[in-house]
Each structure stands twice: as structure tokens, then as C-alpha cells.
Structure 1
Amino acid sequence: MVLRLSFCTALEIPHFFCELAQVIKLACSDTFIYKLLIYSVSNLFVGIPLIGIILSFTQITSSLLRIPLVGGRYKAFSTCGSHLSVVSLFYGTGFGVYMGSAVTDSSMKTAVASMMYTVVPQMLNPFIYSLRNRDIKVALRYLIMEVSSPGSCPLLSE
């Protein structure tokens, strides 16, 4: 469908990757139908998995609340919390990019927001999940202590 559009003289996308919404902004012809189609299809392909995720986490939460031991419940919520943080970061920033691009014409803001949902969740994913490891938590605390007051951390001062 994008090949049917007529483009103006400016054929440079002010972005760091070729995103469909940015390509459509370069068109000189009427793009209302294209934008409507993009938002409809993206709502379908994003909305259905998001509804599934929300329903899954609702079921998980209700199951976790039935765990009689507080320690077991805390451990289970801790695991689910890291999953939920990554999912929220991905969907939240992605939603912000596409809804924000409908409102603003700032290519710099859109590029930064696109970076937030394409790169940052994938970079943070291993970090978030590794924080569940007790050794990683201890090493991170020592690192923070060393950065805040150099020489005070016995493990890192050697």
C-alpha cells in the first residue's frame, strides 16, 4: 500500500530506522486511509496479545493470593513482578510512540520514544531478570557503594 503513495521532494526519513509511520508522513497524497489501517491493524496485533497477557496475569495473581505461606507468596510475586515490569515497559513505550506520533510532529521526540520501545526493554531484560539472583544483588550493592564513596567497599577496593 505504501508503494501507491506519491512522495514529495523530501525523501529522507528523520529517524534512525525505517518505521512505517515515518514513511507515510513523507507522502504528499492523502494518507488518512493508510493511517487508519495502520492503527486498526496495530491495535489488532497488539491488543489481542495484550488482553491475553492481562488475563494471564490476573489468573496468576488470583492463584498467588491463595498461597498460604507469606514467604512463598513473596517469592512468587517477585518473579511475576520482573516479568510484568518488562512487559509494561515494552507495551507502555510502544503505546506512547504510536499515540504520540498521532499528536506531535516532533521527529526527535518520536525517535527517542522509538528507541525506548525497540532497544531499552531488550537491553533491560537480562538486567531485570538477573536481579533475582542474590549474588548479582550483592555485587550491585557493592558497586553502588563504591561509586558513591570510593574506597569504602572491601570487595571492590582491591
Structure 2
Amino acid sequence: MTWAPLRARLRLRLDCREVLSFAAVGLLAYATDLALFTWLRGPLDLDPLTAKALSFVAGCTVAYAGNALGTYRNRATGAPWRRYALFFAVNAAGALVQLLCLAVSHYGLGYTSQRADTVAGAGVGMALATLLRFWGTRTWVFRAEGRLASWTG
């Protein structure tokens, strides 16, 4: 009897749990970012770039805490400040992907409606950025001990 099929199914199940946990943490971070941005722009009347910068940092912090204490709690090695700096860099790269998708659609392809901007930035951009964030978080921030993590664990 070989254990390979059982291990493969177990690894797939663990990967699904990891993805679901990462997604739940991401939703909480997104809600934090959106709520704080709305509050900073509304009642506090901050300019949009300052409000977005502050809400982005808060969202990154919530996502980092959720992943460090939840999704990747068994992989947390090294200095926490270094992990946070890497995590912030991965999230900033994700934000750039979203901006790039929006810029290509709006300025490069000429799709300038609000709907097109939403699809490009919050749809396509968010999907690609999420894949980048998952891969970067798993590979560089909370990598498996002694090696870079692969997609299959």
C-alpha cells in the first residue's frame, strides 16, 4: 500500500485551508481599509491621497497580523519587523498591479467610463494583485523553513 495518494489529498486539503484562511484575512483587511478610508475622507475630511495612504497601512497591518497569527502561525520565523517590512513590500507591489491595470485600461486602451475603471482596478487588478500577494506572502514572508515555499506546499 502506498501513502502517496493520501498525502497528495491531505496536501490539497491543507492548501485549500490556507487559501481560505488567506482570503478571510484579506477580506477583513479590505474592510478595514475601506472603512478607514471612508471615515478619513468623510467626517475627518482628509485629502484622498493621505486618507488612502493611512487606510492602506492600516489594512496591511490587519492583514499581517491575521496571517502571522492565523494562516501562517506555524511558519513565523525570523524577526517580526523584517517579516512586516517584506509583507508591506508585497502588498505595495499588489497595489501597483491594481494601478497598472487601471492605467492600461483607462489611458492605454481608452476605456474611460466609471464601470470600466471599476472592472480594471477593482476587478482584474484586484484578482491579479491577490494572486501576487498570496504567492509573495507564502514565498517570501512566511516561507517554509529552510526553503522557498512552492505553490503545492
TM-score (norm 2): 0.36
More contact order relative to length (CA 8 Å, sep ≥ 6): 2
TM-score (norm 1): 0.35
* Rg larger for: 1
Q: Which has the higher helix share?
A: 2
